[in-house]
Amino acid sequence: MSTKEKSLNSQKRLSGFIVNGVLILICLLWTIPTIGVLITSFRDSKDIFTTGWWTVLPHQAYLQTGEVKVNPDVDVDGPITIEGVTHTFVEWREGVKMPDGKKLTWYGNKRTRTLIMEEQKFQWFSVNLTMDNYKNVLSGQNFSYKDAQGNEIVRQGSNLSTAFLNSVAVAIPATIIPILIAAFAAYGFAWINFPGRKFFFTVVVALLVVPLQLALVPILQDYTKLNLNGTYLAMWLAHTGFGLPLAIYLMFNYISTIPRDILESAFIDGASNFTIFTQLVLPLSVPALASFAIFQFLWVWNDYLVALVFLGDQNRVVTVALAAMVGEKGQDWHLLTSGAFISMILPLIIFFALQRYFVRGLMAGSVKG
């Protein structure tokens, strides 16, 4: 191997190392906060208010070994002396390191008269994880927990399980219906000659740039006249209309790349357009169908505006329920993170189940010739 070839190979290895390193760094920057939110969703509310999520991992930290009670006759409004060490309430609240190496931290407000005794040790993994956060978010019953000051807080569950089922009832039909209609339309635009074909396809492409917000008020007026507000049918029709332009365009680009010889052979054998579509075109278009299914499902599942306008609180979906949780439980991180991950479960399953078709469908029709 010549010196020039060795130099080129070394440059390729270096460039590959740099590219892979940058990609790994981006992945870490993206996943570390997500992991933190996931761990937070399983932690107790008391732990969330006092320590960071990374304390679940191996680390050197102060571990609680006991409690110290302050005598009732001690004035907590002035300097407080404990085991020969005097500090103010604020300083005890922040934590004071004692001469023997232990740390005393005042727990809650002044009325508790309780200090937590901690010793610095190496902890491998924190097992103080719980499923109560998810139970409280999914149910609609009352539950209680203690905040950072030690006060007992009573909350009502967000009943996210019902909202989850409502989102499923909206998203699945709103994904399947436009896919079926778009597949038929794309086949017609690609392989059937009829008057006005180019004009109608141009209209479909032009609809891609029309913001859906422009259509909300007219559609809402029509739904009011037809008594469709607050129904699943209203959501199915709205999402079908908003998703059809992209679906038709994506399916057209893929179906038009199917070799003409296959369709002509089927025509010679006496197959009708419907037979060709169901027996040939649909099986060959699975990558494009799966690609659009991912787009449409994620868009419908994460939609907030359309659901708020056409459904409201009558059949609350996950996005509307999460928005309500932010307003009602904005300080309850353990509940918000649990609700966030509940809303992510089904989209992640759909994406990973169809990801092998995603790139193929996304590149559909991008290369001609």
Q: Which of 201, 203, 202 has its CA nearest to residue 186?
A: 201
Whether this model's pTM surpasses 0.85:
no
In whole angstroms, what is the distance from residue 333 CA to residue 148 CA? 12
Structural Rg of the chain based on CA atoms: 30
- Using an 8 Å Cβ cutoff, are 164 and 342 in contact? yes
In whole angstroms, what is the distance from residue 311 CA to residue 232 CA? 8
Average pLDDT over residues 39-67: 75
Neighbours of 325 (CB within 10 A): 20
In whole angstroms, what is the distance from residue 194 CA to residue 183 CA? 17
Q: Which two tokens stand for residue 339?
A: 């609700």
Q: Where are the beta strands (DSSP E) in 88-163?
A: 96-97, 103-106, 114-123, 142-146, 152-156
Q: What is the DSSP string of 60-97?
A: EEEEEEEEEEPPTTS-TTS-EEETTEEE-HHHHHH-EE
What are the pLDDT digits (tens) for 77-106? 888 888 888 888 888 888 888 887 788 888
| Residue-averaged pLDDT of the chain | 81
Q: What pLDDT does residue 368 have? A: 47
According to DSSP, the β-strands at 103-106 and 114-123 are antiparallel
Residue-range domain boundaries for the chain: 1-41, 58-124, 160-362
Q: What pLDDT does residue 171 have? A: 92
Sheet containing 103-106: give its strands across.
Answer: 59-69, 114-123, 103-106, 96-97
160-362 under CATH 1.10.3720.10, yes or no: yes
The dihedral formed by the CA atoms of 313, 314, 317 and 322, expressed in degrees to the nearest 10: 20
Q: Which two tokens stand for residue 204?
A: 């479909």
- Using an 8 Å Cβ cutoff, are 297 and 4 in contact? no
Q: Which of 324, 321, 301, 329 has its CA nearest to residue 160?
A: 321
Q: What pLDDT does residue 162 have? A: 86
In whole angstroms, what is the distance from residue 261 CA to residue 113 CA? 86
Specify the 3-state DSSP secondary structure of 317: coil
Q: Residue 196 pLDDT > 50, yes or no? A: yes
What are the pLDDT digits (tens) for 241-267? 888 998 898 888 888 888 888 888 888
Neighbours of 72 (CB within 10 A): 7
Residues with Cβ within 8 Å of residue 153, at least 6 apart in sequence: 144, 145, 146, 147
Q: What pLDDT does residue 311 have? A: 84
Average pLDDT over residues 193-219: 86
Q: What pLDDT does residue 349 have? A: 86
Q: Residue 360 pLDDT > 70, yes or no? A: no
Q: Which of 328, 348, 349 has its CA nearest to residue 34?
A: 348
